[in-house]
Chain A
Amino acid sequence: MSFYDSRNILYDLSSFKNGEENAFKLVFENNYEKIVGFCCQFIPDREEAKNIAQQAFVKLWTNREEVNTCNGIRAFLYTAAKTDCLNYLRHEKYKLNYQQNILEKREKLLNQEILESFKFDRLEYMELEEMIQNALDKLPEKCRQVFVKSRFEYKKNREIADELGIALKSVESNITRALKILRKELKDVLPSVLWMF
């Protein structure tokens, strides 16, 4: 099972744009978990993260006529999620200014920086998606198995260890290894902007 398995499904773009229920259902099914997953990485409140993800689909629905390619759909969803996560974090930042501890504040600011640096420009995103898939394919077998189970099959480290008959430590080191390889492979498509200190 790969992360981007759904890219093989060809959405019928015209029925999507015409607002046909079934076309939209398909888009929802193939992307909902990803968008929620993305939001959860930046918003500690899970319910809020789900809300934001659902709003991204509502926005896509209202603007479906503006989407021009199948790949544009996912780029649109990620962009909408990014924008709303940022809005939420910024709003929250001031609301909690006086009660939050320093660590939480730093986490929040860092998350904002990361979100800001995402560019889901349609072309760039297509390239990114393909490169992530290629990079995943290049992982050593064990490493790929662990990473896929951990990231796409909602498995806990303990469960993976049991399933593959390896030590818990080995699960952790394989995830680390996967991250290091992916980072190396994707270095050119994940440009970090220069940060001001």
Chain B
Amino acid sequence: MDYTIIQKYLQGKASNEEKEQLFNWLDESTSNKDEYIEIKKIWALTSREENVEGKTWSDIEPSELKPAKTKTLQHWLARAAVFLLLISCGAIGGRIISKIVETPVYSQMYSVISPAGQMTNIELPDGTLVMLNSGTKIQYSGDFTDGNRQVYLEGEAFFDVQKDVEHPFIVKSELLGVKVYGTSFNIQAYPEDRAFTATLIEGSIGILNTSGEEVTKLVPGEKAYFEESETNIDIRKVDTAMYTSWKEGLVTFRNERLEDIAKQIERWYNVEIVIQKEGLGDERYFGTILKNKPIDQILEVLKLTTSLEYEIVPRANEPSLIYWK
């Protein structure tokens, strides 16, 4: 390779034609690429850009920043309250992305919260698409971009993971985790449910215990279910559409207890449900619900096949209270 071209390129003087030549040469072999990378590293480390504006430290010194001494979760949560930025409100069903970006420490932590009553779509820095269901929080650290593709999930999310064989994508939650290389799957792990459900749509995922060891693998169409009180992970073939239909605003209940359904409704609509009638919580419901409908329509549907009666009590500055009786 003619070094004049490399030099011109480094000095920002190469024409498009010369750039093409350089890139073609890089494609020819790994050793060419390595050679260029070494040169570029030397170039970058010996670079200086004249401070023509005469910037001084006083120009950029932050006025009130205090050194961050602790990096505990409480610390993040405290900051989270202050620096919650609402970035965008979608038109459909009011999606809200809340992003906490204020992080004056070395390794940044990012978290995205999809509040109760909302669904949120995000794209992680590696191109992985994540759809967060209501009342869900996902966290990842600033070195995510350095190949540490690890997220911590509280709640339910659908993942479409960008393929990267070198860097496994890991989802951790309180009970279990999963490890993948590029696939799409759904995970439900709301802390209050004390249970974990992973449903695989395509690809392959490994289920991890809390120490990060792989305990089993799923093939497409399988669902792994684990309850904190149990010792075994239950794996079975399922109709995956039932577990991912929430993405389309459809929710399918499979003979679920009204008490569990109530928990989900609380998350979607940001309401508080109090079950008053004895035994009502144990009644079961089977059917599909359109999540985007007003809550009274949903409750009417539940009423059709259960003994449910309800009363909605709106409250100012607080989630509405709904009595099931």
The residue on A at minimum CB distance from B62 is A58
In this assembly, does A40 line the interface, its C-beta being within 8 Å of a C-beta of chain B?
yes
B7 and A41 form a contact (CB under 8 A): no
- Complex Cα distance, B20 from A34, in Å, reads 29
- Residues from chain B with Cβ under 8 Å of A116 in the complex: 146-147
**Contact of A32 with B55 in the complex, beta carbons under 8 Å:** yes
A residues near B16, Cβ cutoff 8 Å: 103
Q: Which of A8-16, A159-167, A178-186 lies on the face that meets chain B?
A: A178-186
Q: Is the CB of B43 within 8 A of A33?
A: no
Q: Which of A131-187 contact B (CB under 8 A)?
A: 132, 151-152, 154, 157, 172, 175-176, 179-180, 182-183, 186-187
Any B CB within 8 A of the CB of A69: no
The smallest C-beta distance from B33 to any residue of chain A, in angstroms, reads 6
Q: A63-B106, A83-B143, A113-B37 are in contact. Are A40 and B49 (CB under 8 A)?
A: yes
In the bound complex, residues from chain A placing their C-beta under 8 Å from that of B44 are 37-38, 41-42, 114
- Determine the residue in chain A with the shortest Cβ distance to B41: A190
CB of A117 within 8 Å of the partner chain: yes
Query: Would you call B41 and A64 a contact (CB within 8 A)?
Result: no
Q: Give CA–CA (A58, B65) in the complex, Å.
A: 9
Provided the pairs A41-B40, A116-B146 are in contact, do residues A25 and B57 lie with their beta carbons within 8 angstroms? yes
CB pair B7–A114 under 8 Å, yes or no, is no
CB neighbours of A152 from chain B (8 A): 46, 48
| Contact A65:B67 (CB < 8 A) given known A34-B48, A94-B127 | yes
Cα A157 to Cα B147 with chains together (Å)? 39
Residue B45 lies at the interface, judged by CB distance under 8 Å to chain A: yes
How far does the alpha carbon of A152 sit from the alpha carbon of B7 in the complex, in Å? 16
Is A96 at the interface (CB under 8 A from chain B)?
Answer: no
Residues of chain B within 8 A (CB-CB) of A124 are none
Query: Which chain B residues lie closer than 8 Å to A83 at the CB level?
Result: 108, 142-143, 145-146
Shortest beta-carbon distance, A175 to chain B, in Å? 6
Contact assessment for A132 and B42 in the assembled complex, using a CB-CB cutoff below 8 Å: yes
Q: Are B3 and A176 in contact (CB under 8 A)?
A: yes
Q: Is A195 an interface residue (CB 8 A)?
A: yes
Q: B48 touching A151 by the CB < 8 A rule?
A: yes
B7, A54: Cβ atoms closer than 8 Å: no
Q: How far is the CB of A107 from chain B (nearest CB, A)?
A: 7
Residue interface bits B158-188, CB-to-A below 8 A is 1, else 0: 0000000110000000000000000000000
Q: For residue B50, which residue of chain A has the nearest CB?
A: A154
Q: Inside 8 A of A24's CB, which chain B residues have their CB?
A: 57, 61
- Among A61, A64, A179, A195, find the residue whose CB has the most chain B CB atoms closer than 10 A: A179
- Asked whether any CB of chain B lies closer than 8 Å to the CB of A70, the reply is no
B290 near A: Cβ within 8 Å?
no
Q: Chain B: which residue is nearest A54 at the CB level?
A: B60
A interface footprint on B1-37 (CB within 8 Å = 1, 0 otherwise):
0011011000100001001100100100010011101
Known: A116-B147, A196-B166. Contact between A110 and B26, CB under 8 A?
Answer: yes
- Counting chain A CB atoms within 10 Å of each CB, which of B11, B45, B69, B126 scores highest? B45
Interface contact B125-A151, CB-CB below 8 Å: no
- Nearest opposing residue in chain B for A44, CB measure: B12
Contacts of B49 in A (CB 8 A): 33, 36-37, 40, 49-50, 154
CB distance from A162 to the nearest CB of B (A): 17
Bound CA span A76–B69, Å:
17
Nearest opposing residue in chain B for A35, CB measure: B49
Structural contact, B37 and A62, CB atoms closer than 8 A: no
A132 x B45 contact (CB < 8 A): yes
Is the CB–CB distance between A179 and B105 below 8 Å?
A: no
CA distance A63 to B127 in the complex (A): 30
Q: Is B241 an interface residue (CB 8 A)?
A: no
Check B165–A196 contact: CB distance below 8 A: yes
User: Given the complex of chains A and B, what is the CA–CA distance between A110 and B188 in angstroms?
Assistant: 37
Please state if B60 and A57 are interface contacts (CB–CB under 8 Å): yes
User: Whole-angstrom distance from the CB of B239 to the nearest CB of chain A?
Assistant: 33
Asked if B318 lies at the interface with its beta carbon under 8 angstroms from chain A, I say no
B47 touching A183 by the CB < 8 A rule? no
Contact residues in B for A68 (Cβ distance below 8 Å): none
Which one of B42, B51, B105 lies within 8 Å of A36 (CB-CB)?
B51
3 closest Cβ pairs, A-B complex: A37-B47, A28-B57, A36-B49
What are 26 inter-chain pairs, A to B, with CB distance below 8 A? A3-B46, A25-B57, A28-B57, A38-B45, A42-B44, A50-B55, A62-B104, A63-B106, A65-B67, A66-B106, A76-B106, A83-B145, A110-B26, A114-B40, A117-B41, A118-B41, A128-B45, A132-B42, A132-B45, A151-B48, A176-B6, A179-B42, A180-B3, A190-B37, A194-B30, A196-B165
Interface residues of B (CB under 8 A from A): 3-4, 6-7, 11, 16, 19-20, 23, 26, 30, 33-35, 37-51, 55-58, 60-62, 65-69, 104-106, 108, 123, 125-127, 142-143, 145-147, 165-166
